[in-house]
Copies of this chain bind each other. A is one copy, B any other.
Amino acid sequence: MTVLDGNKIAGEIQEKIKKEIDSLKRTSNQIPGLTVIIVGDNPASQAYVRKKHKIAQKLGINSRVIELDKRISTVRLIKQIKNLNQDQNVHAVLIQLPLPDTFKTWEILDHLDPGKDVDRFLPINLGKILLNRTEIYPCTPAGVLVILDEYQIDLTGLNVVMVGRSFIVGKPLASMLTNRNATVTICHSKTKHLAGLLRKADLVVAAIGKAGFITPDMVKKNVILIDVGQNFLYQRKDVIKLCTQSQQNKFEKKGYAITGDIHIDAFKKSSYYTPVPGGIGPMTVAMLMQNTLLLFKQKLKLE
């Protein structure tokens, strides 16, 4: 079994992005601008946003985080978005999800300029994926494709079982893999005989948010396993059952551990797998930086 090393690949991609930003800065006298809006005080969201901000800064991106109180009105939040739409120095805007329950997600998101939609969640951007008319993809699906490409895994004719049908991962990635000539089955909570379908898969993508849900008996030998889950565990008994030794050690210090949707013992049957942490997680962040750069370059082209 070969580890698909997200940390390594993400690092290499970030190196390339940094060089390209340096070079574009010299030729255009401009740098890409990324603004992240975060509403409320969800600690997981705050941690993600801090991480994105830190890496963006490191790559030479003009990175800004707008932290808003969860009691902000819909009207004022939309006003913020419209200001960013107008701002010539902002090429990419990310509205950190989930928004607090008091907001209707799409009532907010629909106000973002699709040309600055770095997450690629707006309908026009998702539709272009279905039509195979774009090179910019949502960050997590993009990270999955790039890591498979980096390890030269040919997708043509592979039977892929995608577990999860969200618009953030499952549905766009299914379209992207279909466009790349894989045969994709989308499974979800209402799927019957999931284990039977999984055992036939050449490649499994798990994006459901249930720790260790896919067990070794559900996958065939030499399967490729892509684990999109990032589940936080706080109980020692769960950590012992579901986490690697390295995560178990961290648990003793931190009081939590992270594991994916695929049980760590299933990885032993695989030909390739993405670990959690260190697989799709860092790839997603790298793709956010790449999308920021792509949107910046699109804007330079228009000038």
Contacts and interface: CB of A to CB of B under 8 A. Distances in A.
Copies in the complex: 2
Nearest to A125: B127
B188 A178 contact: yes
Given A106-B133, A123-B124, A178-B188, 12 more contacts: A123-B126, A123-B133, A124-B124, A125-B127, A131-B167, A165-B178, A171-B175, A174-B174, A183-B187, A183-B188, A183-B191, A184-B185
Please list the 8 inter-chain residue pairs (A to B) with the smallest Cβ-Cβ separation, ordered nearest first: A123-B127, A127-B127, A126-B127, A181-B190, A185-B185, A124-B124, A183-B191, A157-B192
A178 B165 CA distance: 8
B133 A130 contact: no
Nearest to A197: B183
Contact of A183 (B125, B167, B185): B185
Interface in A181-228: 181, 183-188, 190-193, 197
Contacts of A185: 183-185
A285 interface: no
A51 interface: no
Q: Interface residues of A toward B: which range?
A: 20 to 34
A183 B181 CA distance: 19
A238 to B, nearest CB: 29
Given A123-B124, A178-B186, A183-B185, A192 B159 contact: yes
A131 B192 CA distance: 23
Contacts of A147: none
A122 interface: yes
A277 to B, nearest CB: 29
- Which of A106, A123, A188, A190 has the most C-beta atoms of chain B within 10 angstroms of its own C-beta? A123
A181 B192 CA distance: 10
Interface string A269-297: 00000000000000000000000000000
A50 interface: no
A123 B132 CA distance: 10
Interface string A119-163: 000111111101101000000000000000000000011010000
A183 B192 contact: yes
A107 to B, nearest CB: 11
A21 to B, nearest CB: 29
B186 A183 contact: yes
A167 B130 contact: yes
